[in-house]
Amino acid sequence: MGIVDRAIANSVPVIPRPIVKRISGRYIAGDTLDEAVKTVRDLNREGCVATIDLLGESTESKADAARKLKDYKKVVDTIDEHDLKSGISIKLTGLGLTLNEELCRANAEEIVEYADARGRFVRVDMEDSPYTDATLGIVHDLYRRHGNTGAVLQAYMRRSLDDVQNVIDAGFSVRLCKGIYDEPRSIAYKDFATVRQNYIFLLDELLKGGVYVGIATHDEFLIWHALRLIHQLEVPADRYEFQMLLGVDEELRSILVDAGHKLRVYVPYGEDWYEYSTRRLKENPKIAGYVAKDVIGS
Ligand code: FDA
């Protein structure tokens, strides 16, 4: 069990796998890459772009990391072969960050180089706080050498304002999200309103600093502030995009696309669906109702 899985196990009531499987369908493209291709095609037809995420987190061995690297390359090949409007999202713990930073760096460089040769972008997801420094350091180096990669900053992290300054200096693109892991108060803001305020503050700084921002949220209050900032700062359309998770608030997604904004959907697929789905279900305030309905209905 990896650190992320442990955090989830500690913070989420255990929901039986069959129930999670039944109600997680909307958050996952499917078990296979073919199903992810079909989902991305549909999204492209709707006017959205995508980023494909192969589910599964920590690796336990060098061989696991090598397998993950091979799988990531297959995703890039498939995106290319089907000419999809999509990049790929990767997790550095999947490429060996829990084992050895140098091994992970070499693996990350290989996938970024591979994607670069095929004109594709690699977004490096941000995981929990033990990996923040290493993740930003690796993205920084790879961006300098290849250009086709960017990082994620989390608005709940107390350190993120400093990271924003470094990103502005470095020039790589950022996905800005609230943050999903269960962090201690010494590291992360715990209060919902404070996280929101910090999101707005960081977004303002990033946009003023000329950073290309992926505005990753389904929170309409934040989306309103993003639209306000884009308007007030006269941010050109090619300097930002909105980003949403597959299966979450499709109505808001259409509203943004119809208004002419670029919108990227995060498309997870793979057999390791349980942990990802459990996190999504934890975020959804309606989960209690879904579970009750499923338990009663089965
Ligand atoms: P919030 O959780 O307040 O949700 C706002 C509204 O959206 C809710 O009121 C509800 O209506 C709807 N909603 C939210 N979640 C829902 C759900 N599961 N089902 C149905 N409706 C739902 N985190 C991280 O730590 N590292 C990362 O790399 C990423 N990457 C990432 C990529 C993309 C594209 C997105 C959109 C998000 C991430 N995240 C992430 C997750 C992020 O940090 C955050 O946990 C979620 O986006 C939820 O926060 P919101 O800002 O959407 O607001």
Supply the CATH number for residue 201's domain: 3.20.20.220
Asked if 248 contacts 220 with a C-beta cutoff of 8 angstroms, the reply is no
User: Is 111 part of a structural domain of the chain?
Assistant: yes
For residue 218, report the distance from its CA to the centre of ligand 1, in Å.
Answer: 6
Please give the C-alpha separations between residue 235 and each of 60, 95, 173, 203, 220, in angstroms, as whole numbers.
43, 35, 15, 12, 19
Residue with the two structure tokens 């993740």: 135
Q: How many helices (H) and strands (E) does the chain have?
A: 12, 8
Q: Flag whether 280 is marked binding.
A: yes
Q: Can you give the three-state secondary structure of 87-118, one letter per residue? A: EEEECHHHHCCCCCHHHHHHHHHHHHHHHHHC
Top mutation candidate among 24, 27, 154, 177 for ligand 1, by most atoms within 8 Å of CB: 177
User: Is 4 part of a structural domain of the chain?
Assistant: no
Of 259, 89, 90, 243, residue with least CA distance to 176: 243
Residues 6+ apart with CB under 8 A from 174: 150, 151, 152, 153, 164, 167, 206, 211, 212, 213, 214
Q: Does residue 125 have an active-site annotation?
A: yes
For residue 284, report the distance from its CA to the centre of ligand 1, in Å.
Answer: 9
User: Is 198 part of a structural domain of the chain?
Assistant: yes
Q: Does residue 141 have an active-site annotation?
A: no
Torsion on CA atoms 286, 287, 288, 292, rounded to nearest 10: 110
Amino acid, single-letter form, for residue 253: R
Q: Which of 105, 120, 175, 264 is catalytic?
A: 175
Question: Within a 10 A sphere around the Cβ of 35, how many other Cβ atoms?
Answer: 15
User: What pLDDT score does 298 carry?
Assistant: 38
Residue 18 structure tokens:
């069959």
User: What pLDDT score does 20 carry?
Assistant: 79
Which residues have C-beta atoms less than 6 Å from ligand 1? 125-126, 152, 154, 175, 177-181, 216-219, 243-245, 248-249, 266, 280, 283-284
User: Is 84 part of a structural domain of the chain?
Assistant: yes
Asked if 174 contacts 211 with a C-beta cutoff of 8 angstroms, the reply is yes
- Domain span holding position 124: 29-269
Nearest CA to ligand 1 atom 24: 179
Atom of ligand 1 nearest to the CA of 216: 36
For residue 197, report the distance from its CA to the centre of ligand 1, in Å.
Answer: 16
For residue 103, report the distance from its CA to the centre of ligand 1, in Å.
Answer: 31
User: Is 255 part of a structural domain of the chain?
Assistant: yes
Residue 25 structure tokens:
């369908």
User: Is 10 part of a structural domain of the chain?
Assistant: no
Reduced to 3 states, what is the DSSP secondary structure of residue 176? strand
Sign of the four-CA dihedral 135, 184, 99, 245: negative
Top mutation candidate among 223, 245, 253, 256 for ligand 1, by most atoms within 8 Å of CB: 245
Domain count, the chain: 1
User: Is 56 part of a structural domain of the chain?
Assistant: yes
CA 169 to chain centre: 23
For residue 220, report the distance from its CA to the centre of ligand 1, in Å.
Answer: 11
Q: Flag whether 217 is marked binding.
A: yes
Atom of ligand 1 nearest to the CA of 179: 43
User: Is 7 part of a structural domain of the chain?
Assistant: no
Of 188, 255, 244, 194, residue with least CA distance to 215: 244
Per-residue pLDDT of the chain (298 residues; tens, 9 = 90+): 333 343 444 455 677 888 777 777 889 999 999 999 999 999 999 999 999 999 986 688 999 999 999 999 999 999 999 999 999 999 999 999 999 999 999 999 999 999 999 999 999 999 999 999 999 999 999 999 999 999 999 999 999 999 999 999 999 999 999 999 999 999 999 999 999 999 999 999 999 999 999 999 999 999 999 999 999 999 999 999 999 999 999 999 999 999 999 999 999 999 888 877 787 777 776 665 555 555 444 3
Asked if 24 contacts 277 with a C-beta cutoff of 8 angstroms, the reply is yes
